[in-house]
Chains A and B, each alone.
Chain A
Amino acid sequence: MTVFYAEAAMGPRVAGEALVAKDGFSARYDLDRSAGVFCRPEHKLCGQSYQGRVLVLDVAKGGVATAWMLYEMGARGMLPLALVLNRANPIMAQGAALAGLTLLSGFACDITAAIPSGAMVEIDPTAARPFIRIR
């Protein structure tokens, strides 16, 4: 099993299928939150469902709305399972904290190149060295 350690993490332990792209993430800019899919035409995951998947993306993009939107999505059961980023910004951490979403960021490698889309992964943000592991 291949393990990748993160510099920062929060939220509960989870396991599930990874959805991966070398692209950014903003709930306002990129998602159709009603349908639970990426909808921004330029986004590499446009048309794909994020619901219940471990999203592995490059960096946080856009503005502050994601902080509220993650909470709202969670209330409707429409959150991804976890968000894994090469670089998170404050909005992702603030939104994940309110929504109780698992968030990991900061790796020794480009995490979007290290994890194949469709791989089954486990994440433990509570470990002494938080990690994401390919099963």
Chain B
Amino acid sequence: MELNEEEKAMLAGAQGPARQWAVEHQLQVGRYFGARDLVPIAQAHIMADTESLGEAGILWLERWAALPVPERRVRVPTTSDPRGTDFAAAARLKHEPWMIEREKRAAAALAALGVLMTDTCITYQTVMPPVFGEHLAYGDTGVVIYSNSIFGARSNFEGGPSAVAAALTGRTPRYGYHLDECRRPSLLIDLGWTPRDLNEWGALGGVVGRLAGDYWAVPLLLGVDRVPGSDEMKHFGAAAASHGSLALFHIEGITPEARHLGDIGNLPAHPVGEAEIRAFQRSYGGPEDGADVVVFAAPQLSLVEMQSLAGLLDGRRATVPLFAATSPQVKADADRLGLSHRIEAAGGTVLSGMCFYNSYAREMAEASGWRRLASNSAKLVNILGGYGYRAILLSMAECVDLACKR
């Protein structure tokens, strides 16, 4: 790979061991995917919950955090993904003291690197949306697919270590979705029915993700009968990324790069209608299965979703634990506007800065005796099967009905 003089200096250790490691790591990953050089980035976003990091990952971060300031500070604005707990609700979640201690250590190490601890997976709705053509190094698959598809920004999936490397160097290897040739559609989804509810958009994302198959596939959706809203695209993209590891999609006539596709050749086409979406939903069971816990998360809720949930809960009482996870930015507004109070007056709990599945989900289930979980997130129900939950996918209204049944 070609390096410029500054990159060579970092590689030689002239700017300290953290940036030296970062360039070495980027060369290793870049060579794997045939990158020719590094591309400057505008922002980085780091996923680093402590369930993923473990003690080893925290020690790794603390090693860099102990360096002198000039050697450890990030080079571009860098934000953090949801944390592994909400300190204010840790007792309610039965998070153990060792989990809380790990979260505090990881957050302190990231802050020492200069990371803005935004603790959110909806940066594009709350912090700073990217700009068309901007090169980024984003962790969190939902942030990547939304930024690539809806804004026309350019990012690969950057796992925690690579997002740290990119933040330290201000660059990332130029391969994959940084390149025009990788952003062309590779399959068509001929949509015969446009979803209405958020969980239907998530189910469609799941169907498309499974059809597409893997990270390098780029679906182009045909036949969407209206311009979907931000939360609809959020649920669609997050589910497509979760079920298919997808990082980019296009929608004919709607997303920015779908307006200039030109001749797309003879691509494989897959018809998808209401039957496929309903079958996907039913594959997780139905409300008759009941729930031990109801969770709205993955992605964190927007202010509009918080308003919808508050409205559904007004005058009712949840008889099973009900959690709504949102960003600290939305939480502040939800508090100010009385939405948090309305949700909690009905027995719900608003979680700030976490996203449930990355918050010691297995330990929470064991500590609280949760097995059956209901959610309107097609991403959440996909992940939690491996954590011992039997998760069902319902609409937000059906989830609230289930929570308030008895």
Q: Say yes or no: B385 contacts A91, CB within 8 Å.
A: no
Q: Which residues of B contact A8 (CB under 8 A)?
A: 32-34
Q: Which residues of A contact B244 (CB under 8 A)?
A: 61
Q: Say yes or no: A93 contacts B52, CB within 8 Å.
A: no
- Shortest Cβ distance from B215 into A: residue: A89
Query: Do A98 and B52 form a contact, CB below 8 Å, given A62-B242, A89-B214?
Result: no
Partner of B214, one of A30, A69, A87: A87
A-B pairs under 8 A by CB, number: 130
Q: Say yes or no: B54 contacts A65, CB within 8 Å.
A: no
Query: Do A90 and B383 form a contact, CB below 8 Å, given A65-B358, A72-B53?
Result: no
The listed residue with most A CB atoms (<10 A of its CB), out of B176, B215, B244, B386, is B386
- Shortest Cβ distance from A27 into B: residue: B52
* Tier of interface size on chain B: 35 or more
Q: Could you tell me the distance between the alpha carbons of A66 and B160 in the complex, rounded to whole angstroms?
A: 9
A134 within 8 A of B: no
Q: Which residues of B contact A62 (CB under 8 A)?
A: 141, 242, 245, 383
Q: Could you tell me the distance between the alpha carbons of A41 and B388 in the complex, rounded to whole angstroms?
A: 9
Partner of B55, one of A40, A74, A75: A75
- Shortest Cβ distance from A46 into B: residue: B386
Q: Say yes or no: B32 contacts A87, CB within 8 Å.
A: no
Q: Could you tell me the distance between the alpha carbons of A9 and B34 in the complex, rounded to whole angstroms?
A: 11
| Contacts A/B (CB < 8 Å), 20 sampled | A10-B28, A10-B32, A24-B245, A28-B383, A30-B386, A63-B47, A63-B241, A64-B157, A65-B159, A66-B159, A67-B162, A68-B160, A69-B54, A72-B55, A72-B56, A74-B56, A76-B56, A90-B29, A91-B159, A98-B161
The 3 closest A-B pairs by CB, nearest first: A67-B159, A75-B56, A72-B54
Instruction: Report which B residues bind A (CB closer than 8 A).
Output: 25, 28-29, 32-34, 47-49, 52-57, 60, 139-141, 156-162, 176, 213-216, 241-242, 244-245, 358, 382-383, 385-386, 388
